[in-house]
């Protein structure tokens, strides 16, 4: 039966038939087909032709990546795709089939899913497929085959591989690029936004600065104009006031009010002087007049005048210089104003028991640096940047200096600029340091020209007088606000303790404690002038209190009154360190008389040491520990009497006692600070030498530790109210 289809078939034909002639075909009566050729013919019976029924199965023979074969186990039987990196982008795959009948006629069809879904049929005998420059991604290669008779197999053989992208093109790298780009965009946006804000703030700051400068100029002009207008009325107040005081009794209330008016008029005059000085600087009316002089001696003399004020506040003052003298050319008036303001600023803002140090050193030929440092509250960075502005008060610690105009440091800055120098300020480690650097050319000076200490310092003296006046007013107000002496009462009987407190509080500051331990803590905290203690108590008893007070250098000088109902314990109490033993019951008036007596003797002790050169413990109430302390103190000063560099630091080191404790101890016993005590001993020794020796004043000054005879004269006159030369004449008339 004719089906009308063509079936390809492979027939074994002789090779010597030659070429086929077109249309040379014949069908015989027996159904045989004959095809003629140039050298013969071919004859076969179609019924005898059999089609190959085998369906081919493909298998891989080779896989090459970048022209290098890979192990067969990586793709034959592998369940996972082959993993390739981004550089392995060229892949060649070899394959074959299991159809071995005329294999040269086998054909293959393949496709690479991931690149194309279309099948590609290869030419007969072609058994390799190549792919070049494949992009990163996942691929699956599929292949199928037909046998020699064109029968396609049903099975598809496949293998997969994945080409991973470059690390720089991976998903996490792309995410990083996105994030990085986002950050860059954000920071660019932030930069320009902040720049706009900064420019806006800068413009506002400039505007604010301009307004402040205009306001400052307006204030200066206003105050200057008023200052000129006030000079005449002040003159008309001062002169009549002085004449009026001549006719007033010294102790009258009217004289007191007149003194108050005079002080405030002086304050106004000083403020006017500062305003006019600043106005002169602003108007460029300052004319420099450099004169030869010894800068070290000049500054030391100014600095020494502040010691009166500093000693009353317990401030230690230290003047240091790299060299003993520095002869140079400088404007005396301008330098005086600059350092009077700096020294005044230092003593104002140094708390009690603080210290001030002045150092002079030559940083290079013709250039001197003077630093003024003082302990006290630090100044914030913000306030430091504005400290030289007019009408600015930059200290975090503000005492009540009413005469201050807020122009002192501004004047310092302007005058230093006029001198061609620099001034800076720093704050840290609980201190403030001003540094002034000045170009001061060295100069030859005569002895008379270099005698700076004998000059009149009108500006600095007025400043010191003003400081002392304000301190007097402050101390007087403080004294009126508190009682003169402090007493600690220690007793475990609540009623007696309360009674003593009520009765003594009208005259004294009274602190109480219910037992010895608490009492000792109170004594160490408040530093009383006297202690009253019961003898028998539950905790630390009166014996323990006395022994503790006498064994501690901080409290050995404090008088102790012991109260007890047992008179037999008097000897034990006195041996423990009590000054007075009172047996209960006692009369309150008798107790008060004992208190007054002990306090009076303490005061006599202070007066005694301030007037006498040698201590006499038998005449005053003084413990053996106090006596030993003072003996050691005077011994150390005597050993260093001619050493003008022997200062408080070396004295404290020699005494081997903490500075704070030693200061409190010397103050309680003598009423003087450590520096005052050392100076007092030196001056008393000088007085003795003036009286009993033929040494000159200059020699005595050297032997008693004064580097400058003029400074010695100033200190001697301040202490004894008479000059050394007049004292010598008075004691040795012949």
CA distance 233 to 246: 21
CA distance 655 to 657: 5
CA distance 560 to 533: 7
The confidence score (pLDDT) of residue 651 equals 86
CA distance 411 to 432: 18
Neighbours of 554 (CB within 10 A): 18
Q: Does 27 reside within a domain? A: yes
Buried b (16+ CB within 10 A) or exposed e, 685-717: bbbebbeeeeeebeebbbbbbbbbbbbbbbbbe
Write down the H helix ranges in 577-733: 588-611, 624-639, 648-655, 659-670, 674-692, 697-703, 709-720, 724-731
Q: What's 698's domain CATH number?
A: 1.10.10.60
- Residues 504, 516, single domain; the answer is yes
- The pair of structure tokens assigned to 56 is 């081919």
- Residues 583, 720, single domain; the answer is no
Q: Which of 447, 478, 509 is the last residue of a domain?
A: 478
Count helices and strands (H / E) in the chain: 20, 24
The confidence score (pLDDT) of residue 434 equals 94
- Residues 202, 184, single domain; the answer is yes
Q: Does 609 reside within a domain? A: no
Neighbours of 345 (CB within 10 A): 21
- Residues 490, 458, single domain; the answer is no
- Residues 273, 205, single domain; the answer is yes
Whole domain around residue 30: which residue ranges? Answer: 1-50
For 444-593, strand residue ranges (E) read 486-490, 509-513, 530-534, 560-564, 580-583
The confidence score (pLDDT) of residue 460 equals 64
The confidence score (pLDDT) of residue 483 equals 61
Q: Does 83 reside within a domain? A: yes
The confidence score (pLDDT) of residue 457 equals 47
**DSSP assigned state of 387:** T
- List of the chain residues with pLDDT < 50: 1, 396-403, 450-454, 456-457, 477-482, 613-622
Q: What's 332's domain CATH number?
A: 3.30.565.10
Q: What's 68's domain CATH number?
A: 2.60.40.10
Angle at 395 between CA 389 and CA 400, to 5 degrees: 105
CA nearest to 129, candidates 165, 138, 116, 85: 116
Q: Does 191 reside within a domain? A: yes
Q: Which of 134, 150, 169 is the last residue of a domain?
A: 169
- Residues 432, 290, single domain; the answer is yes
- Residues 155, 210, single domain; the answer is no
Q: Does 614 reside within a domain? A: no
Q: Does 446 reside within a domain? A: yes
- Residues 432, 341, single domain; the answer is yes
The confidence score (pLDDT) of residue 730 equals 81
- Residues 500, 575, single domain; the answer is yes
Distance (Å) of CA 22 to CA 6, 275, 547, 662 = 19, 135, 149, 141
Q: For residue 490, list its beta bridge partners.
A: 513, 533
pTM for the complete prediction?
0.43
Please give the helix or strand (H or E) that residue 213 lies within, else none. helix 171-246
Q: Does 130 reside within a domain? A: yes
Q: Which of 459, 478, 497 is the last residue of a domain?
A: 478
- Residues 227, 272, single domain; the answer is yes
- The pair of structure tokens assigned to 247 is 């006719």
- Residues 43, 154, single domain; the answer is no
CA distance 162 to 171: 15
Strand 41-44's sheet: what is its strand order? 20-27, 33-37, 41-44
- Residues 316, 464, single domain; the answer is yes
The confidence score (pLDDT) of residue 610 equals 54
Q: Does 661 reside within a domain? A: yes
Residues 6+ apart with CB under 8 A from 376: 349, 350, 351, 354, 395, 397, 430, 431, 432
Domain count, the chain: 6
CA nearest to 274, candidates 341, 205, 177: 341
- The pair of structure tokens assigned to 598 is 């002990």
Q: What's 595's domain CATH number?
A: 3.40.50.2300
Mean pLDDT computed over every residue of the chain: 81
């Amino acid at each position: 039966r004719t089906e009308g289809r063509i079936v390809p078939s492979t027939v074994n034909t002789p090779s010597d038939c030659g070429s086929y002639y077109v249309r040379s075909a014949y069908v015989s009566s027996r159904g045989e087909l004959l095809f003629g050729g140039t050298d013969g013919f071919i004859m076969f019976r179609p019924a005898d032709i059999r089609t190959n029924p085998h369906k081919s199965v493909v298998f891989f023979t080779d896989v090459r990546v970048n022209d290098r074969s890979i192990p067969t186990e990586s793709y034959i039987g592998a369940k996972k795709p082959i993993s390739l990196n981004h550089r392995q982008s060229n892949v060649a795959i070899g394959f074959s089939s299991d159809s071995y009948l005329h294999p040269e006629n086998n054909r293959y069809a393949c496709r690479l899913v991931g690149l194309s879904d279309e099948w590609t049929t290869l030419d007969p005998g072609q058994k390799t497929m190549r792919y070049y420059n494949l992009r990163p991604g996942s691929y699956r290669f599929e292949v199928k085959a037909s046998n020699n008779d064109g029968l396609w197999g049903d099975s598809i053989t496949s293998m997969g591989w994945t080409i991973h992208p470059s690390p720089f093109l991976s998903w996490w790298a792309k995410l990083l690029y996105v994030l990085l780009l986002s950050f860059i965009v954000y920071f660019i946006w932030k930069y320009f936004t902040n720049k706009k804000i900064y420019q806006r703030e800068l413009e506002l700051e400039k505007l604010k600065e301009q307004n402040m400068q205009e306001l400052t100029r307006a204030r200066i002009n206003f105050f200057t104009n008023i200052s000129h207008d006030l000079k005449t009325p002040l003159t008309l107040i001062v002169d009549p006031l002085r004449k009026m005081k001549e006719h007033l009794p010294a102790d009258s209330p009217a004289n007191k009010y007149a003194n108050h008016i005079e002080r405030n008029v002086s304050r106004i005059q000083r403020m006017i002087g500062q305003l006019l000085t600043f106005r002169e600087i602003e108007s460029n009316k300052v004319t420099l007049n450099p004169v030869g002089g010894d800068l070290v001696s000049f500054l030391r003399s100014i600095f020494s005048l502040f010691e009166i004020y500093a000693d009353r506040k317990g401030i230690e003052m230290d003047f240091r210089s790299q060299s003993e003298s520095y002869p140079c050319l400088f404007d005396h008036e301008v330098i005086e104003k600059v350092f009077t303001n700096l020294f005044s600023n230092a003593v104002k803002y140094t708390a009690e028991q603080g210290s001030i140090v002045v150092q002079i050193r030559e940083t290079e030929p013709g250039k001197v640096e003077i630093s003024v440092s003082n302990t006290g509250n630090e100044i914030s960075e913000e306030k430091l940047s504005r400290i030289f502005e007019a009408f600015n008060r930059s200290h975090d610690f503000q005492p009540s200096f009413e005469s201050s105009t807020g122009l002192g440091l501004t004047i310092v800055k302007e005058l230093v600029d006029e001198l061609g120098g620099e001034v800076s300020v720093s704050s840290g480690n609980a201190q403030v340091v001003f540094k002034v650097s000045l170009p001061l050319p060295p100069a030859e000076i005569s002895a008379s020209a270099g005698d700076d200490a004998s000059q009149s310092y009108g500006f600095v003296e007025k400043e010191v007088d003003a400081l002392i006046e304000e301190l007097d007013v402050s101390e007087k107000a403080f004294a009126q606000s508190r009682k003169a002496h402090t007493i600690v009462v220690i007793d475990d009987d609540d009623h007696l303790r309360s009674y003593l407190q009520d009765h003594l509080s009208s005259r004294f500051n009274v602190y109480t404690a219910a037992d010895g331990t608490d009492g000792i803590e109170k004594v160490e905290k408040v530093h009383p002038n006297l202690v009253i203690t019961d003898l028998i108590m539950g905790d630390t008893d009166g014996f323990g209190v006395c022994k503790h007070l006498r064994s501690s250098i901080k409290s050995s000088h404090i008088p102790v009154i012991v109260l007890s109902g047992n008179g037999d314990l008097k000897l034990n109490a006195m041996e423990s360190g009590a000054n007075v033993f009172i047996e209960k019951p006692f009369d309150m008036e008798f107790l008060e008389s004992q208190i007054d007596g002990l306090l009076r003797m303490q005061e006599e002790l202070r007066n005694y040491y301030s007037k006498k050169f040698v201590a006499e413990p038998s005449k005053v109430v003084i413990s053996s520990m106090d006596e030993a302390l003072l003996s050691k103190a005077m011994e150390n000063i005597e050993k260093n009497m001619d050493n003008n560099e022997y200062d408080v630091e070396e004295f404290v080191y020699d005494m081997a006692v903490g500075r704070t404790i030693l200061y409190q101890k010397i103050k309680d016993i003598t009423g003087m600070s450590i520096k005052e005590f050392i100076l007092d001993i030196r001056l008393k020794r000088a007085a003795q030498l003036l009286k009993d020796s033929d040494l000159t004043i200059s020699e005595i000054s050297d032997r008693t530790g004064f580097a400058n005879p003029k400074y010695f004269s100033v200190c001697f006159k301040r202490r004894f109210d008479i000059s050394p030369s007049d004292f010598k004449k008075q004691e040795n008339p012949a």
